[in-house]
Amino acid sequence: MRDLHPTVEQAVETLPLNALTRRRLLRGTGLFSSALAASALLAGCSDDPAVAEGAPGNFPRTPSWKFVFVCHVTTNPFFTPTQYGAEDACKLLGVQFQWTGSVNSVVAEMVDATNTAISAKADGLALAVVDKAAFRGPVDQALDAGIPVVSFNADGARDDPGTNRLAYIGQGLYESGYELGRRALTVLDSGEVAGFIATPGQLNIQPRIDGAQQAFKDSGKPVTFTPIATNADVTQGLSIIDAYVQGHPNLAGLLAVDAGSTQSVGQTVAKYKLRDRGLKVAGGFDLVPETLASVKNGDLDYTIDQQPYLQGFLPVLALYLYKLTGGLLFPTQTNTGLLFVTKDNVDPYQSTKTRYEGSDTAVKLVERSGPIAHG
């Protein structure tokens, strides 16, 4: 018998032929050769619409579904990797997405964008639910129209998601704030701690500062935690933090729950050499370059990575699978994680440019080597 690829042999065995014909086919006798056998097998498979139309992987051919993301700050660089994640998932699955919402976190604009998507018969919606009342009606309207809805990045209040969305995909916001405070308590026994928040009440960050405050309360330590409003504009926020620090010379800790405030905390610690003045801890959220530099320099002890790429990739996957299975694969609550970036592990974030962190546009494999850190 001629040497055949095992896959061809296995495939021939599945054909509805008697044993003699099958043997002749494999030996290349009679009317067939092994090459013709392989061609015949491929030709037979071409009747499958998924193969014929180039459907992805092992999935069937589907319409080019369109999923709409409604974001509260559409141009914020934090969401650059989120958009890459959605784009990559769409490319993988043969679907498409639209990125819309508000530039400046105007809830009315987000609601308008949501209603427009519903009217246009979007195939699925992913909403950043930054208000626990405004999106309830639109989400119900979408679900009544058969449009699946998930939330991403923000999910209403801790005790009220604010909508009947099918699932939330994003960081556990209250929990991450709690861990922000709990980590600070590993080096703090007493003193004053300021917690900075750009937009109090906005539900993508308010739960974080609530969590941090609760961590200090639960510790029982004589620590005074004071939430301070900064500003969504980073320049204005920096001036507020600067002024607060000058007016409170004995601070033991500086924490922040948004990217802009975290960046400003690091800059302020460096400007006034607060480590020399008794500051014990400084930390916050997200991976803007200035924040990573502050971690590397020791002006920030840590920042928290919430993996924004996954907050774009996973909603597309969830909505696709829901549509693919007629609703049988129901979207699941997905926490995109909490990773502390410290001086010990910050180097790869600074040295590696990748679309997965939003620092590059190129589609590429990021190689790594060496042991994987573990507890």
DSSP notation for 181-200: HHHHTTT-SSEEEEEEESST
Q: What is the pLDDT of residue 77?
A: 84
Q: What is the pLDDT of residue 56?
A: 81
Determine the average pLDDT of the residues in 44-49: 43
Q: Which H or E element spans position 360?
A: none
Closest CA to 311 of 98, 72, 82, 91: 82
pLDDT-derived band at 105 (thresholds 50, 70, 90) equals: confident
Cα–Cα distances in angstroms (integers) from residue 248 to residues 192, 194, 254, in the given order: 9, 10, 11
What pLDDT band is residue 14 in, cutting at 50, 70 and 90? low
Q: What is d(CA 328, CA 139) in angstroms, rounded to the nearest whole number?
A: 20
Q: What one-letter code names the amino acid at 205?
A: I
Confidence of residue 44 (pLDDT cuts 50, 70, 90): very low
pTM score, two decimals? 0.81
Structure confidence by residue, pLDDT tens digits, 191-212? 999 999 998 998 999 999 999 9
C-beta separation of 77 from 41 below 8 A: no
Mean pLDDT of 333-338: 94
Q: Determine the number of helices (DSSP H) and then strands (DSSP E) in the chain.
A: 14, 12
Whole-number pLDDT of residue 43: 38
Count CB atoms within 10 A of the CB of residue 59: 14
367 vs 146, more confident = 146
**Cα–Cα distance measured from residue 297 to residue 302, given in angstroms and rounded to the nearest whole number:** 11
Is the model's pLDDT at 66 over the cut of 90? Answer: yes
The HSE-up count of residue 289 (CA atoms within 13 Å, CB side) is: 7
DSSP string of 71-137, one letter each residue = ESSTT-GGGHHHHHHHHHHHHHHT-EEEEEE-SS--HHHHHHHHHHHHHTT-SEEEEEE-STTTTHH
- The span from the CA of 29 to the CA of 221, in Å, is 86
